[in-house]
Amino acid sequence: MPAKPRLHSPEDDLAFMRSIVEGGGGGGVPMTLAVCYLAGGLLYGLQCLFHIGQVFGVIRWPDLANLLFVVGITGTFLAILTWAILRDRKTGAGNRGPLASRVTSAAFSASGMANSAVVIVFAVGAWRDQDFAVWLYYAAIVFALQAAAWYVAWMLKKKGWMLAVALGGWVAAVALGVLVRQPIAYLGVCTAALFLLFALPGWVLYRDARKAAGPKAD
């Protein structure tokens, strides 16, 4: 006599859905996302400190040296980001792992795509109006978009530090938008936000990415 098929209880269905979202194995945090935050926060935080030094007269370099430093910051960031992207493609990290992690990565990728449009809008506006303050609004929008992405991450993973970063990004966005005509205060807020809301979360993500990669991380 054939055995009766086992009926699934609501608890079984919930456990199944939970296993889909959380995943059953390793992986989950693409190195690209982690490096983008860690390197971006450290490098551009350093650039803000450089500009603060210029404001207070501590740094008095020739114009060409100043330009090379700023270009070098962006060049270094792009080089590190390229390495991380190639590494993710080699390991396939972006296509595996828990669904929640992949959705989180998608949210940050969408935020990055929106950032690229914002760059063009504010750059053109600042050049057309000959008003550098228009360009400074760009940073406020970046932090607002990142706050939204971190909020999505918190909704999916319920990690308290992600909510803290989301709220911090919201506060930083508002503060930067209000302080565009006050360069010293603006630079101070931007520097703190880059280290605390980009570099620090980036380090956490980087640590998780290496842990997920296991002994082959190097």
DSSP string computed for 82-151: HHHHHHHHHHTGGG-S-HHHHHHHHHHHHHHHHHHHHHHHHHHHHHHHT-HHHHHHHHHHHHHHHHHHHH
Q: Using an 8 Å Cβ cutoff, are 129 and 136 in contact?
A: no
Model pLDDT, residue 66: 94
Which of 55-59, 99-103, 156-160, 186-190 comes out lowest in average pLDDT?
99-103
Q: How far apart are CA 90 and CA 96, in angstroms?
A: 12
Residue 185 has pLDDT above 50, yes or no: yes
Model pLDDT, residue 91: 66
Model pLDDT, residue 21: 42
Confidence class for position 93, pLDDT limits 50, 70, 90? low
More reliable by pLDDT, 129 or 213 = 129
Residue 43 has pLDDT above 90, yes or no: yes
Q: How far apart are CA 138 and CA 175, in angstroms?
A: 13
More reliable by pLDDT, 96 or 197 = 197
- Report how far Cα 8 is from the mean position of its chain's Cα atoms: 41
Q: How far apart are CA 138 and CA 36, in angstroms?
A: 18
pLDDT in tens, 52-90: 999 999 999 999 999 999 999 989 998 988 887 787 777
Is 0.75 topped by the overall pTM?
yes
Model pLDDT, residue 133: 85
Can you read off the two tokens belonging to residue 185? 């205060």
> Distance of CA 80 to CAs 17, 63, 70, 73, 180, Å?
37, 26, 16, 11, 30
